Amino acid sequence: MEVTMLLGAGQSTGCLSFQGLVLIAMLLACWVRVKVMHQLVLLLVLFRHMQVM
């Protein structure tokens, strides 16, 4: 959601600055990492739960 807003703001000014692109890339990388970590934690919890049973 935030990324599309940033892109829209960049397009309205004429061109997307290099710093803006870097910022978007960093935000995306951070978001993906959080998502992956969340999935791994869920899998770990599930695995431990299965072992206990």
The tens digit of pLDDT for each residue in 2-45 reads 556 555 555 555 456 788 889 999 999 999 999 999 999 999 99
User: DSSP H helical segments within the chain, as ranges?
Assistant: 2-12, 18-52
pTM for this predicted structure: 0.49
Q: Cα(38)–Cα(40) distance, rounded to whole angstroms?
A: 5
